[in-house]
Structure 1
């Protein structure tokens, strides 16, 4: 190769190396810095809540209640706020739970009954009357003792047929779809596994139904028949006889249908 060409090649190589050195020495542009937007501050308040599950009928103690932080945007006028009622916890102690509360659920004063007030009258629906009937404490007249508060029952009357020979007995459905308020002194089912037997059951009745039940207890015996949950919430009526106008009469141990 001629010396001139070698010189040109050498100059090109030197120039390329110099350009590479210059390129490697340049500062890289700074990477953009990503700044996170600050999260909006949530304004909190303190409201009175249930410290644990509170069943209906429980008398509140200080350990049953506590203050909890609550977003101000989620506040309700029915909540007990510490800022507005600093002594709300102390004021609620001694009250009776009218409807159950779940743990951490805000306390609402309208769902409490103040100490000294009638609890049964507070849980009784408007226009209804609480009537206690006598049952067998062995459960023979109350579905074997499996009837619990808030169940729905039919009331069946059994008595002697005075128009017959005196040995005849009859049974008729007196009331249907009646709510049980209490069994004995128990007003709330606990755990779902308790079998309650007591000598009384308190029912929620209209004034007319209360009269019918009071009279029926004087002339015969009443039994409670448990209804299915799926049959609940039907209109409760006084049934003077079965739909076809007959009643069941037992004569010498044999049941027969007889018209009234």
Structure 2
């Protein structure tokens, strides 16, 4: 027999065997993948938020729906279909995303121990406000605010003339409003414009110290920001004279004084 023909036949035979083995391997992998896809994921019926719920909002039956959720994604304190009724009318102390299982720890009773609304490690601080500082009553529980401090900078501590006079500095940034007056959740029908003379803020202890000193030092101005905005403003403070200098140097005394001397 021709040796070349023998080698060619052997090569063809080995190729066919390899092809059959490859097909068999691929078929086994497909069958394994198909079997894995048939594995039933354990699910359970829980209560989820029908839409996003912001901090300070009270939860009603219209805000909740039931959904089957894989057990691996259900929190230990999830609100179930059987016990959801006891959580109606409670206030959200943390944002709840639409479709997320409702956690019992995220809801607190409105008038049963207000301290439960305060995050551990922080404090509630009540600040008196007027018509301007309450933005005409437009601040609501769950809003984020910033606070500016205006005070009179004396000549010794201020330094250059541009730094002297009335000064405005950022005191606190991005703090949460827990309550406006005695309102800690959504306003009841017909109470949208209820007046209030104080707001309760959630602060770190050192922020509470700064605010206490700031109240004694000068005037405070409360600024309202978008509830989803967490951007630091990076303000350094501004004086009256520095502001006026931007309009042509009207705020700075440019007269040069020569003191002392003699013959």
TM-score if structure 1 supplies the norm length?
0.51
The 1:47–1:181 alpha-carbon spacing in structure 2 relative to 1, beyond 3 Å, is same
- Residue among 93, 102, 106 paired with 1:111: 106
| Alpha-carbon distance in structure 2 between the residues aligned to 1:206 and 1:103 | 29
Q: Partner of 1:129 in structure 2? A: 123
CA displacement, residues 67-117 of structure 1 (integer Å, 9 cap, x when unaligned): 3222345444342345xxxx3112222322212323332111111113543
Deviation, structure 1 residue 179: 1.3
2:83 equivalent in structure 1: 88
Superposition deviation, residue 249 in structure 1: 7.5
Give the alignment of 1:74-85 within 5 angstroms: 74-82=73-81
| Structure (1/2) with the larger helix percentage | 2
Count of equivalent residues: 196
Evaluate the alpha carbon distance shift between residue 41 and residue 230 of structure 1 in structure 2; reply closer, same or farther with a 3 A threshold: closer
Residue by residue over 1:179-212, the C-alpha shift from the partner in whole angstroms, topping out at 9 and shown as x without a partner, is 14257357789xxxxxxx9754443334454344
Unmatched runs of 5 consecutive residues or more in structure 1: 1-35, 190-196, 235-241
Q: SS state of the match for residue 67, structure 2? A: strand
Q: Find the aligned partners of 1:99 and 1:230 in 2 and give their Cα distance.
A: 15
- 8 Å Cα contact 1:181/1:203 also seen in 2: yes
What is the rounded CA distance, in whole Å, between the counterparts of 1:170 and 1:227 in structure 2? 25
Question: Which of the two has higher C-alpha Rg?
Answer: 1
TM-fit CA distance, 1:49: 1.7
Distance (Å, rounded) in 2 between the aligned partners of 1:230 and 1:256 = 36
Which is worse superposed, 72-81 or 104-113? Answer: 72-81
Write the mapping of 1:8-47 to structure 2, written as runs, cut at 5 A.
39-47=38-46
